[in-house]
Amino acid sequence: MPYRRLPNTDSARLRALKAACNMGKKTPPQGLAYSQATFSKVELFINSFEKAIAHYKAAYDTQVERSKDYQQMLKKAKLYLSHFIQVVNMAIARGELQPTVREFYGMDIDESKLPTLNTEKELIEWGKKIIDGEMARMRKGMTPITNPTIAVVKVRYDQFLEAYNYQKVLQHNTQRMLNELNVLREKADEIILDIWNEVEEHYKDLPDEERRVKAGAYGLVYVYRKNEIKGLPLIESTIPRLF
């Protein structure tokens, strides 16, 4: 015996809602397989749900698209910052700078390894330390580091920082849209369950096959279990897919 399968994706929810709503619009009230109260509920709800899906998708797509540029800026900032630190360490190794110069950058005097720059937080913290430290050195009249200069490093760092902050805004917007959509998903599931229960109750006295076909016109979906007859088609709405 095939069983009823409730929708579990947004597109499937919309198909179910639109199928039921379309039946409500073209069927006289006395012939409708679910109540007018439920029809009014789905008619009022469906546009809000569809808009929420579109808004979330737009926010998510924007975040993903801008993330590509952001990752490039992050890599560039990390590259220039690590090169700057390497130049400092090489100058110390050649005896051109004293190891104490590392103190300007918040580094251990005897530490010749690059600081860890694997996370955004580490890159932000070390970028500020290195830029502030080099500026402090230059104010004391010390010879600035070149190739790259701190000015070039700062440009890359500032670009990364701006992109980082913007990406956080996009992530926040996407999460807000998702939270709003999740609330509406729960509401959609409640409405669909009410419709399907009412439709099945309306057709309960019909033979099984006829009941499933008529219910399918309202968007109900029935599937066969794996151990049941193979090759039987999925029985669902007889109206064309809406998208």
The amino acid sitting at 130 is: I
Is residue 217 within a helix (H) or strand (E), and if so which, with residue range?
none
Helix-helix angle 36-93:10-26, to 10 degrees? 160
Write down the pTM of the prediction.
0.80
List C-alpha distances in Å: 66 to 114, 167, 179, 186, 241.
29, 7, 21, 30, 33
- In this structure, the number of other CB atoms found within 10 A of the CB of residue 63 comes to 18
CA angle at 41 for the pair 35 and 45, rounded to the nearest 5°:
150
User: What b/e string do you get for 24-38 counting C-beta neighbours within 10 Å, with b at 16 or more?
Assistant: beeeeeeebbbeeeb
User: For the chain, how many residues are written?
Assistant: 243
% of the chain with per-residue pLDDT over 90: 89
Residues 6+ apart with CB under 8 A from 42: 17, 20, 21, 24, 191, 195
Quote the longest CA-to-CA distance of the chain: 95
- In this structure, the number of other CB atoms found within 10 A of the CB of residue 217 comes to 18
% of the chain with per-residue pLDDT over 70: 93
- Tell me the per-residue pLDDT of 72-124, one tens digit each, with 9 for 90 and over: 999 999 999 999 999 999 999 999 999 999 999 999 999 999 999 999 999 99
Helix-helix angle 10-26:150-202, to 10 degrees? 40
Which residues pair with residue 235 across a beta bridge?
222
- Tell me the per-residue pLDDT of 120-173, one tens digit each, with 9 for 90 and over: 999 999 999 999 999 999 999 999 999 999 999 999 999 999 999 999 999 999
